Amino acid sequence: MLILAINGSPNPAGNTAHMLKAALQEAEKAGAEGRFIQVSEVLAKVKNPFCLACSNPCEGKCFRGTPLEEAYALLRRCDGMIIGSPVYFCTVSAQLKAFWDKTRSLRKDKALLNVVGGALAVGAARFGGQETTVRAIHDMMLCQGMTVVGDGFTEDDAGHQGACAQRPAEADQTGTERSRVLARRVVEVARATAELRLRRSQD
């Protein structure tokens, strides 16, 4: 089972990365293989980082032979993913949006259908747009046909939309713990829905 942590922050070692790494450690503790994707790095060698909808259906010409293509190959075979973003004007970062906009080729192939997804966000203030950012990530996932879950788990509680923290995230013990709970939920539902993704790969 492969679980991805996708960091939409331009900072590879910042608050969002801290939350995602805590989640990834929890997924690995539960027996999953974990991989971390730094969105800003995989976009760096793409000539135009923003989707221009240059072909319909998408042929993926703009990222062929780049680290972005390698990242999308991981998305194609993952069972679950946790996407994180800092809050930028109550929504996701430009880097994360650019990364996701270019997944049109995955959508064409239904590559993320039934993949389990969870979201987390970090804001500068306690009530700084974290939940709207999480919901924006959920909408992005739903457009790919993913199975969206919140940060609830049987041994914890019913949870909410996802894990939210205030920077500095390392000092926000509740936010870090909710990241771990979210990871447990993603792994649990990914195991329960494995047969659906097997059907997808056979189509």
pLDDT digits (tens, 9 = 90+) for 35-72: 999 999 999 988 888 888 888 888 888 899 999 999 99
What share of the chain has pLDDT > 70, as a percent? 98
At 198 the pLDDT is 80
What share of the chain has pLDDT > 90, as a percent? 83
CA angle 68, 71, 72 (to 5 degrees): 90
7 sits in which H/E element: strand 2-7
Domain ranges of the chain: 2-202
Tokens representing residue 168 in the block: 């500095």
pTM of this structure: 0.94
Question: pLDDT by residue (tens digit) across 102-115?
Answer: 999 999 999 999 99
DSSP one-letter string for 75-107: HHH-SEEEEEEE-BTTB--HHHHHHHHTTHHHH
Does domain 2-202 fall under CATH 3.30.70.260? My reply is no
* Residue 145, C-beta contacts closer than 8 angstroms, at least 6 positions apart: 107, 110, 112, 113, 114
Residues 132, 121: contact at Cβ < 8 Å? no
67 sits in which H/E element: helix 67-77
What average pLDDT does the structure give for the chain? 94
* Residue 151, C-beta contacts closer than 8 angstroms, at least 6 positions apart: 118, 159, 160, 161, 162, 163, 178, 179, 181, 182, 185
